[in-house]
């Protein structure tokens, strides 16, 4: 069955709803899914235990390990132990190996207050699962930059932490952005995001496979406490100001903003106050912007200028620092975090 949600504009995002896997689907690479599915697709697979594990893949079209691990898992299961509801997201972007097409919204930023075709897609998914019993929800993503395997939770409920601990002892608690799929589903059931590592690393696909294998066999969602984790809290997102030319130190380019090399390699490790973050020929407010969890501009709390050097005013733990200019422009340069102690939860 196909439900078309045409919104006038530059693109159309229909939602297709299926009750079985189309023939040959599990043989398809991510870039081939558009030709088979035609657009975002929700697939309900039934089993004796009807309460379904909701699995989301390809919200970002170039983050393919989730799909590859999922299709391997499904190919190895002649019969599922519980129901599974699969949301296959931005297959149009996946067909071109891109996170998102230029005329699309980010599919992981449409789940609270979005309008247009993105908002219509989110509403269609909500409507399609409104009466469905959900055991838990897992949104699968690849990282940009060098990061450990970790989970993201949008609240610190014991069941969310329990799902996270099945994957890694590292987790990040985020409150912003509030438009992500995991926050939407956390209102319905235990829900987490898994950051499974860089695209192209076969170990990422295997981590997805192993996690789904464990999660589908659970009789109940496990619980955990903050004390069991290396638990971090997102303080803010670091953005390069729109319209500013930038480069990284290893590029050896003459740009108004040159970002220090090597930060990517120390994601999830502390950078001390006074650490050099880059250089600029302009003021800090002209080149960088830090937004806290309440969307306030807190740039001055984190950065200061000494000559042409950009220095950290306080110690931070970076995460998802990326040297991919496209991701920097479309999303952000990195997150700043701090470590949460056991009492913080």
User: pLDDT for 298-331, tens place per residue?
Assistant: 999 999 999 999 999 999 999 989 888 988 998 8
d(CA 87, CA 17): 9
CA angle 173, 175, 179 (to 5 degrees): 125
Same domain, 73 and 178: yes
In sequence order, the 6+-apart residues with CB closer than 8 A to the CB of 3 are 14, 15, 16, 17, 124
DSSP structure class, residue 242: T
Window from 23-27, 114-118, 133-137 with minimum mean pLDDT: 114-118
> Which long-range contacts (C-beta less than 8 Å, at least 24 apart) are formed by 115-118?
116/7, 116/9, 117/5, 117/7, 117/9, 117/11, 117/12, 117/13, 118/13
d(CA 32, CA 18): 18
d(CA 67, CA 31): 11
- Of 224, 247, 276, which residue is a domain's last? 224
**Averaged pLDDT, 97-103:** 94
d(CA 249, CA 231): 31
Same domain, 141 and 202: yes
Within-domain flag for 183: yes
Backbone angles phi, psi at 222, to 5 degrees: -70, 165
In the prediction, which pLDDT does 338 show?
94
122, pLDDT greater than 50: yes
What SS3 class is residue 27?
A: helix
3, pLDDT greater than 80: no
d(CA 143, CA 335): 12
- The closest of 153, 119, 148 to 136, measured between CA atoms, is 153
- Of 203, 224, 245, which residue is a domain's last? 224
- As for how many domains the chain has, the answer is 2
Looking at the DSSP bridge assignments, the partners of residue 246 are 257
Contact 140, 196 (CB under 8 A): yes
**Averaged pLDDT, 289-306:** 94
pLDDT tens, 43-57? 999 999 989 999 999
Within-domain flag for 83: yes
Same domain, 215 and 269: no
Same domain, 295 and 200: no
Same domain, 241 and 141: no
In the prediction, which pLDDT does 33 show?
98
Same domain, 70 and 211: yes
In the prediction, which pLDDT does 7 show?
34
In the prediction, which pLDDT does 4 show?
37
CA angle 331, 332, 335 (to 5 degrees): 130
d(CA 94, CA 31): 5
Same domain, 207 and 239: no
In the prediction, which pLDDT does 200 show?
85
**CATH code of the domain covering residue 110:** 3.40.630.10
Same domain, 170 and 250: no
94, pLDDT greater than 50: yes
Please provide the average confidence, as pLDDT, over all residues in the chain.
92
Q: Which domain holds residue 133?
A: 2-224
Same domain, 186 and 168: yes
Same domain, 81 and 25: yes
């Amino acid at each position: 069955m196909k439900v078309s949600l045409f919104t006038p504009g530059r693109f159309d995002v229909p939602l297709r709803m299926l009750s079985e896997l189309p023939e040959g689907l599990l043989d398809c690479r991510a870039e081939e899914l558009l030709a088979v599915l035609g657009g975002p697709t929700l697939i309900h697979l039934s089993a004796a235990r009807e309460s379904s594990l909701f699995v989301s893949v390809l919200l970002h079209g170039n983050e393919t390990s989730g799909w590859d691990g999922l299709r391997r898992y499904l190919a190895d299961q002649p019969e599922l132990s519980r129901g599974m509801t699969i949301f296959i997201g931005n297959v149009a972007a996946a067909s071109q190996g891109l996170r998102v097409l230029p005329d699309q919204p980010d599919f992981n930023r449409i789940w609270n207050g979005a309008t247009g075709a993105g908002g219509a897609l989110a509403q269609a998914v909500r409507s399609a699962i409104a009466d469905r019993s959900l055991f838990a929800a897992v949104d699968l993503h690849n990282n940009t930059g060098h990061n450990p395997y970790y989970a993201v939770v949008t609240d610190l409920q014991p069941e969310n932490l329990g799902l996270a601990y099945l994957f890694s002892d590292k987790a990040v608690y985020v409150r912003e952005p509030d438009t992500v799929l995991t926050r939407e589903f956390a209102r319905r059931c235990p829900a987490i995001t898994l950051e499974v590592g860089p695209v192209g690393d076969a170990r990422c696909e295997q981590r997805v496979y192993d996690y789904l294998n464990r999660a589908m066999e659970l009789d109940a969602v496990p619980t955990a406490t903050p004390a069991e984790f290396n638990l971090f809290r997102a303080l803010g997102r670091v953005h390069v100001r729109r319209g500013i030319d930038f480069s990284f130190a290893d590029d050896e380019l003459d740009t108004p903003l040159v970002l220090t090399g090597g930060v990517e390699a120390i994601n999830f490790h502390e950078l001390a106050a006074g650490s050099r973050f880059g250089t600029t020929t302009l003021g800090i407010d002209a080149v960088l912007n830090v937004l806290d969890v309440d969307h306030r501009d807190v740039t001055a709390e984190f950065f200061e200028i000494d000559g042409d050097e950009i220095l950290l005013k306080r110690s931070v733990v970076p995460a998802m620092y990326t040297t991919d200019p496209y991701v920097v422009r479309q999303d952000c340069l990195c997150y700043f975090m701090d470590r949460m102690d056991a009492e913080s939860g």
